[in-house]
Structure 1
């Protein structure tokens, strides 16, 4: 562990190209390299435009971003406001060195400071290292829920 060499800070617009590199690295790891369709411009505007929808913390080592956690507010009619952790990404060469723990701990702290009623995220059922990581926090990993989605194209082509 080299936690004392890692600095956490709020992401800045200038970080977006590196964050997108990490998003693409994650997509490759998750066996879905062609699923990332957001452009750098869209990503930047969503985080730093007039109505930002996400916030992120980056983990830096000697000025180089080695990981990040990106979240937004999710509202549950059952639970109220919750922090939704969209991605927790640590570049492959830095995994297992405590960077993910620093970022996840920061997300817990953020959820607490913002007064949220909890925190949620998704993990692929085959991603055993991630599941083991979350189990260390005694997190509830739910089964029985399926994810539904419509693509931009499906929405565009929908006929009322």
Structure 2
């Protein structure tokens, strides 16, 4: 297996967006992906980049990525927030996800972070089982809340 884990570049963004759509399909919410390629590139590589990602390349093709950013908690301080973590379906079970996830853990450990957080859908048993192998703390009792751009504009 010719695997390379590296920091994402702006040139990777079209492929990352394809994988984001694949993840949204898997999570039964394809209509929720509304970010444009230009917005995505600007958010990661513009004047004020807000996200960073590691990509997993297999034979020079990106087959997975982990996108993260700093989240500030008034209770815990700086936390690395893992926004998206995906390995393409055909590459799952090969160990690529483990290597990629542990790269993010290393980033959390070596950076200015007081921990690492992420979300997982309660029905996503394969992901839950994966995180349980790391003895991750899976919280209950919290509901996600938010506004769409259209809702914000109504105020």
TM-score tier, shorter chain, comes to over 0.9
Aligned to 2:117: 120
Q: CA deviation at 1:62?
A: 1.2
Q: CA deviation at 1:115?
A: 2.9
In structure 2, the gaps of 5 or more residues are none
In structure 1, the gaps of 5 or more residues are none
Q: CA deviation at 1:6?
A: 1.1
3-state SS, counterpart of residue 65 of structure 1: strand
Supply the RMSD in Å over aligned alpha carbons: 0.7
Q: Does 1:80 align with 2:77?
A: yes
CA distance in 2 between partners of 1:92 and 1:127 (Å): 14
Pairs aligned (count): 155
- Counterpart pick for 1:98 among 81, 95, 99: 95
Aligned to 1:50: 47
> For each residue in 1:81-134, what CA deviation from the matched residue of structure 2 results, as whole angstroms up to 9, or x when unmatched?
000000101111001111111111001100011031000000000000000000
Q: Does 1:22 align with 2:19?
A: yes
TM normalised by structure 2 equals: 0.98
CA distance in 2 between partners of 1:95 and 1:133 (Å): 11
Question: Which runs of 4 or more aligned residues in structure 1 lie more than 6 Å from their structure 2 counterparts after TM superposition?
Answer: none
Q: CA deviation at 1:136?
A: 0.3
Aligned to 1:71: 68
